[in-house]
Amino acid sequence: MHSFTFGDDPIMADKLLELVIHGQKTATSWAAIHGSLESETGKRQVVNDSKEQPRVIIETIELARRPFAEVDEQFAHDEGEGDLSLDYWKKEHERYFNREGTFSKNMEVYCQRFRVIEILK
């Protein structure tokens, strides 16, 4: 089973993982330039913490590729971050994608919705 860690630093990884564990984060996104990252509807993945320890098993329930500018308010809310607004999502994701060198106003992103299958101890 494919595993991954959220974000691009240990603090972010653990913070986003906690949002998943508490049911607030039910979606995630990434630059389409990276491909579908072994995700497809029905596929299960393991989410690791910042120490690469398996913590949660999730199942993809929706995967769509869309322009960054077309991400909607509901998806931003489902990502579960900040004040849950689309403005917050755009601002923070632009920062994130700039850090990884992938941001452009015309970029596409994969938008994944998931459900938690199991919280691992």
**Residue 46 belongs to what domain range?**
3-119
Helices (H) and strands (E) in the chain, counts: 3, 5
32-86, pLDDT tens digit by residue?
999 888 889 999 999 999 999 999 999 999 999 999 999 999 999 999 999 999 9
9-37, pLDDT tens digit by residue?
999 999 999 999 999 999 999 999 998 88
In 7-40, which positions are buried (b, 16+ CB within 10 angstroms) versus exposed (e)?
A: eeeeeebbebbebbeeeebbbbbbbbeeeeeebe
Number of structural domains found in the chain:
1
SS3 label, residue 66: strand
CATH code at position 39: 3.10.400.10
